């Protein structure tokens, strides 16, 4: 993996890169978009087990892949925008949908971050729609996604 070249000609890693996975931040966001653009059935095959409402794992970032997915999307979006959407015009609808999902969680409830919501809620359907629309608007094919997607590795801070 190549780092970003800076003015002095030295290659350095970007803060969003994950060298232990061999992936750059902007590619990671495209991979996550590609995951979102797929069907819920395909997403479930690629993600670790999604806890049901009431399962204590649903509240833990390290145990709930939907929380990890939300965190990763928020984290890697700036790397994507820097390269593909500096004014954030194209990513704005996707970001709005993601924020709506995030707002469903409260201190007492996991909100949309459980299997039942993931499969049935309008907010997740809208997020999938916006991911497909963004890839189409930018003329990008879906990126390959490793199976299983190491979602919890993506939320680890860079070394």
Task: Supply the pLDDT for residue 67.
Answer: 93
Asked whether residue 9 is assigned to any structural domain, the reply reads no
Residues of the domain holding 98: 26-154
Please write the tens of the pLDDT for every residue from 46-93.
999 999 999 999 989 889 999 999 999 988 888 778 777 777 777 788
Asked whether residue 132 is assigned to any structural domain, the reply reads yes
pTM of the model as a whole: 0.83
Domain total in the chain: 1
DSSP 68-127: HHHHHHHHHHHHHHHHH-TT-TTTHHHHHHHHHHHHT--SS--TT-SHHHHHH-HHHHHH
Asked whether residue 6 is assigned to any structural domain, the reply reads no
Asked whether residue 46 is assigned to any structural domain, the reply reads yes
Please write the tens of the pLDDT for every residue from 116-139.
999 999 999 999 999 999 899 888
Enter the tokens of residue 85: 């959407």
- Cβ–Cβ < 8 Å for 128, 37: yes
């Amino acid at each position: 993996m190549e780092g970003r070249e800076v003015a002095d000609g030295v290659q350095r890693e970007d803060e969003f890169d994950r060298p232990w996975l061999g992936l750059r931040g902007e590619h990671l966001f495209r991979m996550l978009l590609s995951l979102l653009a797929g069907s819920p059935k395909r997403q479930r095959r690629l993600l670790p087990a999604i806890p049901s409402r009431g399962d204590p794992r649903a509240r833990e970032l390290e145990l709930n892949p939907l929380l990890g997915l939300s965190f990763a999307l928020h984290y890697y979006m700036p790397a994507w925008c820097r390269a593909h959407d500096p004014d954030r015009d194209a990513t704005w609808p996707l970001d709005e949908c993601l924020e709506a999902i995030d707002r469903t969680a409260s201190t007492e409830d996991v909100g949309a971050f459980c299997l039942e919501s993931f499969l049935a809620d309008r907010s997740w359907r809208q997020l999938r729609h916006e991911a497909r629309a963004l890839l189409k608007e930018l003329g990008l094919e879906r990126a390959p996604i490793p199976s299983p997607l190491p979602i919890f590795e993506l939320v680890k801070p860079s070394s």
